Chain A
Amino acid sequence: MAAMNFGFGINRPRVIDLDRNNLRKSDEILREMPELQTCIGCGACTALCTAGNLTSFNFRRVHTLVRRGEYEGAYEEMNKCMLCGKCRLACPRGINTRGVVMLIKRKLGDF
């Protein structure tokens, strides 16, 4: 029987191994911006994101992965942000999201 196409699929299995990931950058980021730990992952920032509206850029996903030490591609992904600041106004925890974007880029990028 041919596979049915429901328009969505199952995520490829993957493992985030916190013992093997290098959490040094992640720790530095959380030390400079401890309020990031209060994130409840509601996704308001991502829902109304100007860049997210035009691309697959997902701020919640990127900062969550970075906190877990998954840095690959995070800088390039974060660079899609236009820094317009809507997410900061929407965040129910009052996280300085623009500061987070700049901090992650500073820690993971080449500057």
Chain B
Amino acid sequence: MRFYAPFCLPFLIGVAVMFSLIVWKYVVWFAELPRADKKRVLYGIPTPRTLAAVWEVIRECLLHRRIFRVNPLLGYMHMSLAFGWFLLIVVGWTETVAYLGLHWVPLQGHVFFRYFAPPLMLRDKPFFDFTMDLLLLFVLSGVALAWLKRFWSRAMGMRRTTRHVPGDRIALSALWFIFPARLFAESITCGIYGMGGFLTGGLGALMASAFGRSTLVVFEQGAWWFYSIALGVFFVALPFSRYMHIFTEIPLIFLRRYGVRPHEKESSGDQFQIQACSRCGICIDPCQLQSVLGIDNVQSVYFLRDRRYGMLTRDVAQNCLMCGRCQVKCPVGIDLNTLRLNSRDTMRNTPDERRYEYFAGLDRSEGAGKVGYFAGCMTLLTPRTLSAMERIFAAAGEEVWWADRNGGVCCGRPLKLSGETDSARRMMEYNTQLFRRHGIRTLVTSCPICLKVFREEYRLDGIRVVHHSQYILEMIEQGRLRLGRGMATYTYHDPCELGRGSGIYEEPRRVIEAVGALLEPAHTREEALCCGSSVANTVISDADQVRIAESVAGELAATGADAIVTACPLCKKALVRGTSSVEVCDLSEIVAKNLR
């Protein structure tokens, strides 16, 4: 049996190029991983995590469960293309086995089976004819949705869709043509030989009666050439385009399960994340820089694209609020913020050993309690929060060690967010030593920015780090704070660093409910908006920050609450500028006001 025709060449070349490039890329990235990460992978393989990863690959790479959760129509589009194509390959393979038994058939024999089948005088197998046609229809429905999305994204529930680079456009066009081309090629062959299922057979019979079989014979080779070229072009373009995500998400899922994540510094492991981005553009709509300010070249999809192709500019890397709204929506689960941070590190980190020499011998703390309070720079700028905390500590009868009431060193997160990670490390070392020297057991902070860095970057073994919302709730539950519940209504703004950043949603809400009624705004919890004044962004202007604050404060005020409550001094400062009608206060203020 011969399974060869000249039109197979473009396809075969494409497959060879694609797989050799992909294997080469993966081998290089893996070889360049830090030693600790390699160890994690090696020790992770013989554990149940491998099975969990396999299950996740089936769920995400084939069925696309996470996209379904974000947007069902987009989920169906991706599933029909990925799962449909996968089933076409698997069922096609089974079909050749069913016809020919367990003989070795070259790759092109499987892929172009409909072309090679008739001359072999194979008996009809209606089950396979029907199934293959059904699957082809399934994939074609996805392709139709993809066309619709490109021309009218709102129909698919997306306000904006990604603007693509030329390489992506070539791959995209090839992908669009693969399945219609397959339909026509198979239909023509089926029309000539009078076989096929409901779709290819039906279309083939229709064309045979309309144009005559002899015309179809003329066009048969051309149609198969076109199909093969479409496949070949797509496969060659794949490793250079966004379609690299089709394969790269698989190693990414395994690496993530084994605990390999992006670090503070760039590493080759980041490539698994960057090239797993499908540029679906789901991250564009949640971005407030886009929806409020109309900035549309800095979103995560563009950041990852620019970084991948080595055209990342400082403006794109720095112009981000790092609110994490895109990260919770990302269907691939890419660590978008960490990647942006290590890009900033590469661009800006210039260690200077002497810059913080003035920390030596510095200690302005006071008090002697086992509970430490770190106000943080921003709380020192919102003295009402600080004095409210003083009253709360006094009411709870807590002896407090005040870390920085008379001035202190910043927690280091703002500097880290701007990319100067090595210098930020010096602040972290200073503060760690300060906390240790005073022997505190609990560290309370009213600034979520500090909280996040204390929890994630500091090595504070033996010191429990809590946000003031958690501390206040504990005091209420232990009966050490007695609060009067008034008639006032409050709405709560989730600070990014506290909610999405540290996973604290419940405690502030329960504290608010202890003093009044809580009204939820339209966007809340994981969906909460950013106040716009994030220290992570050093590009947007003051006026832009106010515009974001106005949109957020407007939404919060629309709940009709008497006051907007937040649990972050920076959010408070920002929101105050966004509204003139409603009072904005910190959680600690309403607690202090309602102390009994």
**Which A residues contact B (CB, under 8 angstroms)?**
35, 48, 50-51, 53-55, 76, 79-80, 82-86, 88-91, 94-96, 98-99, 102, 109-111
Stretch in B46-54, B161-169, B412-420 touching the partner? B412-420
Does B533 sit at the interface, judged by CB under 8 A? yes
The distance in angstroms between the C-alpha atoms of A94 and B545, with both chains bound, is 10
A82 CB contact (under 8 Å) in B362, B410, B573? B410
B144 sits at the interface (CB 8 A)? no
**Which B residues lie within 8 Å of A48 (CB)?**
380-381
Q: Which of A96, A110, A111 contacts B542 (CB 8 A)?
A: A96
Q: How many Å lie between the Cα of A111 and that of B345 in the bound state?
A: 13
Are A83 and B350 closer than 8 Å at their CB atoms?
A: no
Check B538–A50 contact: CB distance below 8 A: no
Task: Using A55-B358, A96-B538 as known contacts, say yes or no to A82 and B352 having CB atoms under 8 A apart.
Answer: no
- A79 in contact with B358 (CB, 8 Å): no
Query: Can you list 6 A-B pairs with a CB-CB distance of less than 8 A?
Result: A82-B415, A85-B378, A96-B538, A98-B418, A99-B538, A102-B418
Whether B348 sits at the interface, judged by CB under 8 Å, is yes
Chain A residue nearest to B347 (CB atoms) is A111
- Asked, given contacts A83-B414, A83-B418, whether A50 binds B541 with beta carbons under 8 Å apart, the answer is no
Judge whether A98 and B533 touch: CB under 8 Å.
no
Q: Is B543 an interface residue (CB 8 A)?
A: yes
Type the 1/0 row for B525-541, where 1 means its CB is closer than 8 Å to any CB of A.
Answer: 00000000101001111
Residues of A within 8 A of B156 (CB): none
Given A50-B410, A89-B533: A99 touches B378 (CB 8 Å cut-off) = no
Contacting pair A79 B573 (CB below 8 A): no
Q: Is B427 an interface residue (CB 8 A)?
A: yes
A86, A94, A111: the one contacting B381 at CB < 8 Å is A86
- With A96-B539, A96-B542 already in contact, 20 other A-B pairs whose C-beta atoms are closer than 8 Å: A50-B409, A51-B358, A54-B358, A54-B409, A80-B358, A82-B410, A83-B535, A84-B378, A84-B535, A85-B377, A85-B414, A86-B377, A86-B381, A89-B378, A89-B533, A90-B381, A91-B542, A94-B543, A98-B414, A102-B418
- Measured between beta carbons, the chain A residues less than 8 angstroms from B409 are 50, 54, 82
Min distance, Cβ B307 to any Cβ of chain A, angstroms: 19
6 closest A-B pairs by beta carbon, nearest first, are: A94-B542, A79-B355, A84-B377, A53-B407, A82-B410, A84-B410
Which residue in chain A gives the minimum CB-CB distance to B574? A89
Query: Closest A-chain residue to B358, C-beta based?
Result: A55
Q: Which residue of A lies closest to B376 (CB)?
A: A84
- The total of chain B residues at the interface (CB under 8 A) is 33
Q: Which residue of chain A is the closest to B545 with respect to CB atoms?
A: A94
Query: Cβ of A80 and Cβ of B377 under 8 Å apart?
Result: no
A89 with B418: in contact, given A50-B407, A94-B543 (CB under 8 Å)? no
Q: Does B19 contact A (CB under 8 A)?
A: no
Whether, in the assembled complex, B356 has its beta carbon less than 8 Å from a beta carbon of chain A, the answer is yes
Closest to A56 in B: B358
Q: Are A109 and B535 within 8 A (Cβ)?
A: no
Residues of the A chain whose Cβ atoms lie less than 8 Å from the Cβ of B410: 50, 82-84
B358, A50: Cβ atoms closer than 8 Å:
no
Which of chain A's residues have a CB closer than 8 A to the CB of B377? 50, 82, 84-86
B541 and A96 contact, CB distance less than 8 A: yes
Specify which chain B residues have a CB less than 8 angstroms from the CB of A89 in the assembled complex: 378, 381, 533, 570, 573
A35 to B544, CA, bound (A): 14
Residues on A with beta carbons closer than 8 Å to the beta carbon of B408: 50
Q: Mark B568-579, 1 if CB is under 8 A from A, else 0.
A: 001001000000
**Smallest CB gap from B362: residue in A:** A54
Establish whether residues A84 and B414, one from each chain, have CB atoms under 8 Å apart when the complex forms.
yes
- Given the complex, which residues of A lie within 8 Å of B354, measured CB to CB? 76
A90 and B541 CA atoms in complex are apart in Å by 14
Which residues between 397 and 411 of chain B lie within 8 Å of chain A, taking CB atoms?
A: 407-410
- Nearest B residue to A33 by beta-carbon distance? B541
Closest to A48 in B: B381
Task: Kindly provide the distance from the CB of A90 to the nearest chain B CB, expressed in whole angstroms.
Answer: 7
Residues of B near A83 (CB, < 8 A) are 410, 414-415, 418, 420, 535
The residue on A at minimum CB distance from B418 is: A83
A94 to B541, Cβ gap below 8 A? yes
- Residue ID in chain A nearest B359 by CB atoms: A54
A35 to B539, CA, bound (A): 12
**Cα of A76 to Cα of B352 in the assembled complex, Å:** 9
Shortest B204–chain A CB gap in Å is 65
- CB atoms of B378 and A86 under 8 A apart: yes
Chain A residues within 8 Å of B381, by CB: 48, 86, 89-90
Chain A residues whose C-beta falls within 8 Å of the C-beta of B543 in the assembled complex: 94
Residues of B314-355 whose CB lies within 8 A of A: 348, 350, 352, 354-355
Interface residues of B in 350-397 (CB under 8 A from A): 350, 352, 354-356, 358-359, 362, 377-378, 380-381
Q: Given the complex, which residues of B lie within 8 Å of A95, measured CB to CB? A: 542
Encode contact with A along B444-470: 1 for CB under 8 Å, 0 otherwise: 000000000000000000000000000
Given contacts A50-B407, A79-B355, A80-B355, contact A109 B350 (CB under 8 A): yes
The contact of A102 among B358, B538, B541, by CB within 8 Å, is: B538
> In whole angstroms, what is the CA distance A33 to B502 when docked?
34
Q: What is the distance, in angstroms, from A37's C-beta to the closest C-beta of chain B?
A: 14
Residues of B within 8 A of A50 (CB): 377, 380, 407-410
